[in-house]
Chains A and B, each alone.
Chain A
Amino acid sequence: MARITAGVGTSHVPAIGAAIDLGKTGEDYWKPVFAGYDWSKDWIASQKPDVVILVYNDHASAFDMKFIPTFAIGCGERFAPADEGWGPRPVPDVIGHPDLAWHIAQSLILDEFDMTIINEMTVDHGLTVPLSLMFGQPEAWPVKVIPLAVNVVTYPPPTGNRCWALGEAIRRAVESFPEDLNVQVWGTGGMSHQLQGPRAGLINAAWDNMFLDGLIGEGDALRHIPHIEYLRETGSEGIEMVMWLIMRGALGPLTHCLHRHYHVPASNTAVGHIVLEPVTGD
Chain B
Amino acid sequence: MTTDIHQYLAEFEDIPGTRVYTAARARMGYQLNQFAMSLMKPENRARWKADERAYLADWPLTDDQKQAVLDRDYNRLLDLGGNIYFLAKIFSTDGLSFVQAVSTMTGMSVEDYQAMMLAGGRSPEGVRSKKEQN
Q: Which residues of A contact B (CB under 8 A)?
A: 14-15, 59-61, 64-66, 83-86, 153-156, 159-161, 192, 194-205, 207, 224, 226-228, 231-234, 236-237, 264-265, 267-268, 270
Q: Which residues of B contact A (CB under 8 A)?
A: 1-2, 8-9, 11-12, 15-23, 26, 30, 33-34, 36-37, 39-42, 45, 74-75, 78, 83-86, 88-89, 92-93, 97-99, 102-103, 105-107, 113, 116-118, 120-124, 127-129
For B74, give the chain A residue with the smallest CB separation. A196
* A residues in contact with B129, CB < 8 Å: 232
Q: Is the CB of B86 within 8 A of A60?
A: yes
Q: Give chain B nearest CB distance to A265 CB in angstroms.
A: 4
* A residues in contact with B23, CB < 8 Å: 154-155
* A residues in contact with B18, CB < 8 Å: 194, 196-197, 199, 231, 236
The main secondary structure of chain B at its interface with chain A is: helix
With A83-B40, A200-B106 as contacts: A231 and B15 at CB distance below 8 Å: yes
Q: Is the CB of A265 within 8 A of B117?
A: yes
* B residues in contact with A159, CB < 8 Å: 1
Shortest beta-carbon contacts, A-B, top 5: A203-B121, A199-B17, A198-B17, A85-B92, A201-B122
Q: Is the CB of B98 within 8 A of A201?
A: no
Q: Is the CB of B121 within 8 A of A265?
A: yes
Q: Give chain A nearest CB distance to B6 CB in angstroms.
A: 13
How far does the alpha carbon of A265 sit from the alpha carbon of B113 in the complex, in Å? 12
Q: Is the CB of B11 within 8 A of A198?
A: no
Q: Give chain A nearest CB distance to B53 CB in angstroms.
A: 21
With A60-B86, A198-B107, A232-B124 as contacts: A224 and B117 at CB distance below 8 Å: no
* B residues in contact with A15, CB < 8 Å: 97-99
Interface centre among B45, B74, B122 (most CB of A within 10 A): B122
For A195, give the chain B residue with the smallest CB separation. B84
Q: Is the CB of B113 within 8 A of A228?
A: no
Q: Give chain A nearest CB distance to B5 CB in angstroms.
A: 8
Q: Is the CB of A201 within 8 A of B92?
A: no
Q: Is the CB of B116 within 8 A of A197?
A: no
For A29, give the chain B residue with the smallest CB separation. B118
Q: Give chain B nearest CB distance to A95 CB in angstroms.
A: 24
A–B complex contacts, Cβ < 8 Å, 7 sampled: A60-B33, A155-B22, A159-B1, A194-B18, A201-B117, A265-B117, A265-B120
